[in-house]
Amino acid sequence: MDSPKTDWSHETAAARAWFESLRDRICAEFEAIEREAGSDARFTYTPWDRQHEGEPVENGGGGVQGLMKGRVFEKVGVNVSTVGGAFSKEFAGSINGASAENPGFTATGISLVAHMANPHVPAVHMNTRFLTTSKAWFGGGGDLNPPIPYAEDTAEFHAAYKAACDAHDPAYYPRFKAWADEYFYIPHRKVHRGVGGIFYDHLECADEAGFAANFAFTRDVGEAFLAVFPRLVRRRMGMAFTEADKLQQLQWRGRYAEFNLVYDRGTLFGLKTGGNIDAILMSLPPEAVWS
């Protein structure tokens, strides 16, 4: 029997390269939308290195935070990171394939959150990632967060992800949609964060063939986002809105902030692994109300 694969460095590098290429294409498309709106806003890119208790971690990796504040995208962050090292003993036990005795890990991924100026344009989140401990797996997904929902937009967003899922396994979409509905829920409010999408995790890779299949699916998830979300933005960004519409947006942003600070796994993972604080919290809206 072959020994389990333990060296995933080649696969991690391949995933990182693709996440970075997806970042470049998404940012270019978002900047193009700003040009269409008469804005010259562009992304600024800030590199960072992984730290532990304020000190750099040797060979710990890092990432690049991409941030743009424009006329259409009030605040959008597109971050790519590739980090490695060891989890704290207390945190290791909560991670798939890690333990206090075996706390080593690598993680590479892209994370995007967009908060829009016009309340008719939905906010959105997208993330895909590849992690290794004693196991290796992909996770990710995307969800739509409209302050003013439109059934047409919701249906189109879900259709894009369903097509991506169905190309790989017809069981994926119903399973990952249900997972998103369960995950993106605010228990203390008894409401969902938005209109859902898909969420998946621990899509494990036993060998190179497993990696290839799961990587192909994860790429299709990223491509689905790039295909559908800019269409929704262009459809809604020129609509007139009222003060009441804006207040509704700010109230929903408050709920978004509550979820990310209280329940989101990605926020906790970043804070527990020495990630860049500004990059981790870029998901928070530029303005919100609680009333």
The rounded distance, in Å, linking the Cα atoms of 27 and 35 is 12
Which residue in 120, 125, 158, 192 is the catalytic one? 125
CA distances from 101 to 59, 88, 134, 236, 252 (A): 20, 10, 11, 52, 42
- Taking CB atoms within 8 Å and a gap of at least 24, the contacts of 16-23 are 16/80, 16/82, 16/108, 18/215, 18/219, 18/222, 19/80, 19/108, 19/109, 19/110, 19/128, 19/222, 20/80, 20/110, 22/110, 22/128, 22/222, 22/226, 23/66, 23/78, 23/80, 23/110
- Report which of 32, 18, 59, 42 is spatially closest to residue 274, judged by C-alpha positions: 59
Chain-centroid distance, C-alpha 96: 19
- Confirm whether 125 is a catalytic residue: yes
CA distances from 67 to 127, 154, 172 (A): 16, 26, 32
The rounded distance, in Å, linking the Cα atoms of 182 and 198 is 10
- Yes or no: say if 110 and 125 are a contact pair by the CB < 8 Å rule: no
Q: Could you give the residue numbers annotated as active site?
A: 125
